[in-house]
Amino acid sequence: MAASYDSQPGSAHAVYVALRQRFSDGQYAPGQRLTETTLAADLGVSRTPVREAIGRLLAEGLVIPAARGVAVAALSPSEAAHLFVLRADLEALAAELAATRQARGELAPAEIDALDQAVDQVEVAVKARDARASAQANLALHRAIGAAAGNPFLEDTLHRVWDRIAVTTVANLDDPHWAGAITDQHRAIVAGIRAGDPQTARHAAKAHIEAAGRAYKPAT
């Protein structure tokens, strides 16, 4: 019964999911102040579920205490460096597992085709110079690879890492030099998965995230 209740609109869990989605979509800027009153009015709920959801976000490090509310947490250069080291290994593992599943015939052709389509969507958004759409499409691709890995614990950990980084990913994808490089890198990862070649997929994914780490510009 608790799970059913938590999934109801207006519940603390529903508010938490909605706020996490906003972080993932890059809707909040580092340092932006969020108040219970404003969020409650924006989401059309009472302040109680907002307060509970904010408590979870505080525990996860996505927000920090601030005057009359909380503020969106920014990453220092050292924090970003540490996070990208972790992310490179996690995403390399995800790509390796996805390719292994492909080699075993555990991925449906539609799942592989969906990865190619996700790459195409990132490319379209990048060419349109729409940084926010690029960030959202980019995250959708990485989520799809994480799902294809077939390891729910790895996927959950990746979601936490992505959410910490997402608040400034939009700014990075507004950089034409980096944005223009990611399509070939994405295609290399997906090609390795499609070929059922775990080591190629792993290498391509790790190289991509390491390049992303070099391009990343933490908020100051």
Mean pLDDT of all residues in 90-99 = 98
Task: Give how far Cα 192 sits from Cα of 19, 66, 104, 110, 131, Å.
Answer: 34, 45, 14, 16, 27
What's phi and psi for 185, nearest 5 deg?
-65, -40
Strand ranges in 4-162 using DSSP code E only, listed in sequence order:
33-34, 63-66, 69-72
Question: Which two structure tokens, joined as six digits, stand for 220?
Answer: 């100051």
- pLDDT by residue (tens digit) across 163-178? 888 766 666 666 777 7
Q: Which residue has the higher pLDDT, 160 or 103?
A: 103
Q: Which residue has the higher pLDDT, 51 or 170?
A: 51
Q: In this predicted structure, what is the pLDDT of residue 188?
A: 97
Supply the pTM of this predicted model. 0.83
**Among 83, 81, 89, residue whose Cα is nearest residue 61:** 83
Asked whether 198 and 96 are in contact (CB, 8 A), the reply is yes
Half-sphere exposure of 113 (CA within 13 A, CB side): 3
Percent of the chain with pLDDT strictly greater than 90: 61
124 has a pLDDT exceeding 50: yes
- pLDDT by residue (tens digit) across 60-85? 888 999 988 899 988 888 988 999 99
pLDDT confidence tier of residue 9, bands split at 50, 70 and 90: low
1 has a pLDDT exceeding 50: no
Mean pLDDT of all residues in 135-144 = 92
Q: In this predicted structure, what is the pLDDT of residue 28?
A: 83
Percent of the chain with pLDDT strictly greater than 70: 90
Asked whether 133 and 125 are in contact (CB, 8 A), the reply is yes
Question: Which two structure tokens, joined as six digits, stand for 75?
Answer: 């990453």
Mean pLDDT of the chain: 88
Q: In this predicted structure, what is the pLDDT of residue 27?
A: 81
For the chain, how big is the Rg over CA atoms in Å?
18
Q: Give CA–CA dist 153/197, Å, rounded.
A: 22
